[in-house]
């Protein structure tokens, strides 16, 4: 049972759907590039972990989900927030620490949150959000919402104790949750094979009898299909699924990491499977020409630049609110 490949419930992307997915990935890429620029200008302070290279995972997952599905994730979450429906303005303003940000400027890069679109954060303690996702799944089941919790986590988080405990409970109670590991080969400067004897983290599910699958995560259509299969399995009351998407981050761990620990040539080789290139090629097979691709890029440029301007000109939060969400009233 646990090794079965899940049936795919979705039909292939139409040209319109694929165009949308390409635009979503482009928007994440441009927002992240502008965040990097703002960080070097000290307009964004503190930690800042970019999602460049992994865009296909969040965008493919979003295409496989429904609005009532709740996402819980870690600190490399700008792209996931955008994919789930938080606006580029609200994300960028939060990175700038402005009152117009999705967490009203009180959270910053690692604590994006927007209950309106069921984006439940944004957490900085590695692995600690996985039990939270199980709690969300429990609530979704008790309330009979038909929603599924999707928990994104890294290869590093899959070595944490809390992660194993969360898997145990989710399987025991057959909760509607999809655990989605983004294996980008590194946890800070430590490569996955130096930290774990298993490098396919979906195999961790076998210990509790959970349905599991590993797949290539660079092709957004493929991610949509595999996450779609897992989400349907969980939504139908069959219990949780653990997935691993093989991906890669093109930047360092955070803005302060020059990523010198990578073997020579590895980054260049991985860039051959840049999600944007794969999907642009597929769009051209559908008949998209240079003008159509350029128009998409131009419209994303306008949206990302607008977000940057909005963040820059937005007001700071009122210092009197500093402790507002720290202690219960
Ligand atoms: C409990 C805990 N231990 C250590 C850290 C420091 N730390 C921050 S990110 C990170 C690496 C996590 O890697 P991974 O889960 O693979 O996610 P990725 O950064 O690759 O997205 C570590 C060790 C932390 N934030 N929390
Ligand atoms: Mg990692």
Residue 85 has pLDDT above 60, yes or no: yes
Structure tokens at 116: 């309106």
Angle at 241 between CA 235 and CA 247, to 5 degrees: 120
How many CB atoms lie under 10 A from the CB of residue 107?
Answer: 19
Residue 81 has pLDDT above 70, yes or no: yes
Can you tell me the distance from the alpha carbon of 37 to that of 76, in angstroms, rounded to the nearest whole number? 17
Which residue in this structure is represented by tokens 């259509």?
221
What pLDDT is attached to residue 5?
A: 79
Can you tell me the distance from the alpha carbon of 262 to that of 209, in angstroms, rounded to the nearest whole number? 35
Structure tokens at 293: 């691709």
- Cβ of 186 less than 6 Å from ligand 1: yes
Give the pLDDT mean for 179-200: 98
Give the pLDDT mean for 156-162: 98
Residue 27 has pLDDT above 60, yes or no: yes
| Top mutation candidate among 187, 193, 259 for ligand 1, by most atoms within 8 Å of CB | 187
| Top mutation candidate among 129, 182, 188, 244 for ligand 1, by most atoms within 8 Å of CB | 188
Q: Over the stretch 222-277, which tens digit does the pLDDT of each residue have?
A: 999 999 999 999 999 999 999 999 999 999 999 999 999 999 999 999 999 999 99
Q: Over the stretch 122-153, which tens digit does the pLDDT of each residue have?
A: 999 999 999 999 999 999 999 999 999 999 99
Q: Residue 75: what are its φ and ψ, rounded to 5°?
A: -100, -10
Residue 325 has pLDDT above 90, yes or no: no
Q: Which pTM does this prediction carry?
A: 0.97
Partners of 212 in the β-ladder: 242
Which residue in this structure is represented by tokens 């301007």?
309
What is the average pLDDT score of the chain? 97
Can you tell me the distance from the alpha carbon of 31 to that of 221, in angstroms, rounded to the nearest whole number? 22
Give the Å distance between the CA of 277 and the centre of ligand 2: 22
Reported as a pLDDT band with limits 50, 70 and 90, residue 195 is: very high
Residue of the CA atom closest to atom 17 of ligand 1: 154
Residue 4 has pLDDT above 80, yes or no: no
What pLDDT is attached to residue 1?
A: 39
Give the chain's domains with CATH numbers. 24-200+222-271+303-311 (3.40.50.970)
Residue 261: is it exposed, middle or buried by C-beta count within 10 angstroms (0-12/13-18/19+)? middle
């Amino acid at each position: 049972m646990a090794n079965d490949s899940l049936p795919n419930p979705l039909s292939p992307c139409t040209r319109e759907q694929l165009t949308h997915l390409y635009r979503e990935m482009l928007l994440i890429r441009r927002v992240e590039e502008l965040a990097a620029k703002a960080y070097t200008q000290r307009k964004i302070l503190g930690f800042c972990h970019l999602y460049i290279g992994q865009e296909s995972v969040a965008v493919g997952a979003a295409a496989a989900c429904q609005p009532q599905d709740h996402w819980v994730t870690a600190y490399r979450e700008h792209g996931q927030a955008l994919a789930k429906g938080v606006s580029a303005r609200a994300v960028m303003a939060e990175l700038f620490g402005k009152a117009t940000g999705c967490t009203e400027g009180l959270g910053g890069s690692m604590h994006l949150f927007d209950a309106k679109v069921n984006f439940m954060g944004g957490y900085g303690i590695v692995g600690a959000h996985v039990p939270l996702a199980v709690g969300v799944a429990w609530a979704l089941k008790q309330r009979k919402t038909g929603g599924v919790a999707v928990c994104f986590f890294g290869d590093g988080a899959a070595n944490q104790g809390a992660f194993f405990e969360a898997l145990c409970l989710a399987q025991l109670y057959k909760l509607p949750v999809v655990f989605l590991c983004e294996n980008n080969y590194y946890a800070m400067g430590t490569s996955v094979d130096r930290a774990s004897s298993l490098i396919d983290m979906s195999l961790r599910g076998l210990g509790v009898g959970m349905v599991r699958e590993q797949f290539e995560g660079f092709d957004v259509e493929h991610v949509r299909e595999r996450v779609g299969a897992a989400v349907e399995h969980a939504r139908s009351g069959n219990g949780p699924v653990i997935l691993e998407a093989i991906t890669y981050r093109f930047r360092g761990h955070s803005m302060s990491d020059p990523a010198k620990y990578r073997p020579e040539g590895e980054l260049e080789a991985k860039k051959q499977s840049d999600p944007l290139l794969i999907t642009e090629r597929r769009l051209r097979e559908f008949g998209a020409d240079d003008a159509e691709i350029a128009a998409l890029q131009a419209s994303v440029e306008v949206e990302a630049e607008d977000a940057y301007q909005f963040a820059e000109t937005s007001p700071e939060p009122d210092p009197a609110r500093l402790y507002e969400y720290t202690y219960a009233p």
